[in-house]
Amino acid sequence: MSDEHSPEYYKKKFIPLIYLVGGILIGGTIITFAADKMGIAEKWGFVNALIFALSVAVVKASAVIYIFMHLKWDIKLKTISITLGCTVIFLIGMMALTVGSEIDYFKPGHEENTWNHVSQPEQEPVPTEK
């Protein structure tokens, strides 16, 4: 029983996990950087490049959360799963609002929406005295 809690036991068990997570982080960063340098947004389109980059980021974040936040050893994942699910839904909603606000036809002043501003009549210039 005492052998399971010795420093050597933890070194044998956790050092490889730390290297694994470090490798995932470095590999994900290299993949994302290489994809940007290859011009993935121009080849696949902005939305597909965004999905690819966010997928790599999710893999990296999942590795960190699973090991460093001790989810691997948590027996009941109910609370953290609900919390992470709500966080992901919130993130998707905020990203939809942020990216969706950049679409031109939703912005005020265009003809095809109800945000048209009343045009102001042109005013004559005020004569100045010489």
* 56, 80, 100, 30 alpha-carbon torsion, rounded to 10°: -10
Tens of pLDDT along 29-49?
A: 999 999 999 988 889 888 899
Task: Specify the pTM.
Answer: 0.55
Domain positions in the chain are 1-69, 75-102
pLDDT reading at 111 higher than 60: no
